[in-house]
Structure 1
Amino acid sequence: MGDKTQVLISILKQQPVVPVLVIQDVASAVPLARALVAGGLKAIEITLRTPAALEAIRAVANEVDGAIPGAGTILNARQYQEAVDAGSQFIVSPGTTIELLDVARKSPVPLLPGAATASEVMSLREEGYQVLKFFPAEQAGGAAYLKSLSSPLAGMQFCPTGGITPANARDYLSLPNVICVGGSWVAPAALVEAGDWDGITRLAAEACLLAG
């Protein structure tokens, strides 16, 4: 677990925002990922919410220099393995199950498991996890809730996702227990559909400045 934790931390700490993508068309995956990488966002979470997701991960892994593709919305062991086979370098789940913990234990690819309560965080800490996805962040209590966990659950780090925007991202990023945030605003559907890759690169570059 220690080595995989360090791999995950090294991926997440590269940037303040991990783009969370719902890709409808495989053809958009490569230019979208290139636009995000050009703006400074190399780690990219492609969610398994569409039929195009696995092929999109495979295309990004094979064709986009500098990209670190990850898979999100992983719900079971089959999806975990399919995402790894497609080239995912990290796996993200909205919550945690025994099945996911079992497959993650056997896989060389690290898991960023979802948690929303103190008990869930404690359970995952017992399993050896140090970095978790806090989801759904805004609906589960927001930055104030996450701040309240920093003292009793010292040493745990989070990637809050869910309702994060440029307006509230700094509230999270200023917390000592936040390593980065997940956000979809850097790749809005309208810009993707229009093929406005320069616009997405600008949004990615602006997101990188949130670390300052």
Structure 2
Amino acid sequence: MIQSIYNRVQEEGIVPVVEIEDVNQSVSLATALLKGGIHCVEITFRTKQAANAIKLIKERYPDMLVAAGTVLSIEQVDEAVKAGADFIVSPGFNETVVHYCMEHKINIIPGCSCPSDLEKAISLRLSVVKFFPAEAAGGINAIKAMAAPYRTLSFMPTGGINLDNLNNYLSFDRVIACGGSWIASKDLLRHNAFDEIEKNAREAVHKMIGFELAHVGINAQDVQEARSIANFFEQIFGFTAKENPSSIFSDSYVETLKSPYLGKKGHIAIAVNSVERAKAYLINKGILFNEESTVIRDDGKIQAVYFKDQIGGFAIHLVRNSNLR
């Protein structure tokens, strides 16, 4: 898979899987997903309208990432590509379809649910596979078990995933995204419930990212003032002071900087499950980032990054949830 497509799927984290019966709903569906914060959709070839739906969505929203799903034949691959699909998703490891896509440099995520299929994927130097049907095939525990010996593969589980178990999958770093039909179900489409689809999309994105207040930061003028402030919080509220080279934390609630840093009044830290996904989501909302403030972990993931602009005199930064590895 072309790296840029792979990266975009991973940043999105959620791929709504949609079955379109009425092609006239295509653009309204895409609009609802985009308003809800999702910029990716998989249109399944379970209906005759799939290719037309893909074409209409790509014409209206050329930057939206559109996959063709449930692709079972070379003919469907050609239809999907002609319509503008960015990549192909198949429910199983159809060797004819996979080889055709590889030969024609067409991005594909084939379905795999057993070691034999994973080894076929590795032999073709694929880096991402679909794990389907996810819940019925053993869920996240099965993925973790199979990921252990096959270290070059990442997974996009689909099937039985919903708002309640979404983060069980996404918390595993070998899962790049989850596919799911609950966001834009057939019943919602049947009733033209695009407001509900938008609501489901927004709810899913917020669940995935997990925005929550991490701590408030205070800019002290020097070390002595920082220690005095931390001592106050410990004596009055019982917040235990823990000193670091550049700051002092009062439990996890307040961080007092030993010298003035970003933010006229201090800073506010927002914890997220994935800084990368949160950042991509917020960029689409128009938020600019101070790239020079980015802190990278040893594993290459972003630990923290500041917004470019202050809010009410406070610098805002994202930070990876401390409960996650």
Under a length normalisation based on structure 1, what TM-score does the superposition of the two structures give?
0.93
**Cα distance in structure 1, aligned partners of 2:201 and 2:37:** 6
For 1:73, the equivalent position in structure 2 comes to: 70
Name the structure, 1 or 2, with higher relative contact order (CA <8 Å, separation 6+): 1
Indicate the larger mover: 57-66 or 110-119.
Answer: 57-66
Indicate the larger mover: 141-150 or 128-137.
Answer: 141-150
For 2:93, the equivalent position in structure 1 comes to: 96
**Cα distance in structure 1, aligned partners of 2:32 and 2:38:** 9
**Cα distance in structure 2, aligned partners of 1:170 and 1:32:** 24
Work out whether 1:160 is the aligned partner of 2:157.
yes
Work out whether 1:59 is the aligned partner of 2:56.
yes
Q: CA RMSD in A?
A: 1.4
For 1:26, the equivalent position in structure 2 comes to: 23
Work out whether 1:129 is the aligned partner of 2:119.
no
**Cα distance in structure 2, aligned partners of 1:66 and 1:198:** 22
**Cα distance in structure 2, aligned partners of 1:8 and 1:158:** 14
**Which structure is larger by alpha-carbon Rg, 1 or 2?**
2
How far the C-alpha of 1:65 sits from its partner, in A, is 5.0
**Cα distance in structure 1, aligned partners of 2:172 and 2:109:** 19
**Cα distance in structure 1, aligned partners of 2:61 and 2:192:** 17
Identity of aligned residues (%): 36
What are the within-5 Å matches in structure 2 for residues 38-57 of structure 1?
38-57=35-54
C-alpha contact 2:94 2:110 (8 A) present in aligned 1: no
**Cα distance in structure 2, aligned partners of 1:118 and 1:76:** 23
Deviations 1:123-171 (A, max 9, x none): 1111100100001111111111111122211131000001111111111
In structure 2, runs of 5+ residues without a counterpart are 210-272, 274-325
Normalized per residue, which structure has more strand? Answer: 2
> SS state of the match for residue 14, structure 1?
helix
Under a length normalisation based on structure 2, what TM-score does the superposition of the two structures give?
0.62
Alignment length (residue pairs) = 209
In structure 1, runs of 5+ residues without a counterpart are none
Which amino acid in 2 is paired with 1:69? Answer: V
C-alpha contact 1:7 1:110 (8 A) present in aligned 2: no
C-alpha contact 2:170 2:176 (8 A) present in aligned 1: yes
C-alpha contact 1:116 1:135 (8 A) present in aligned 2: yes
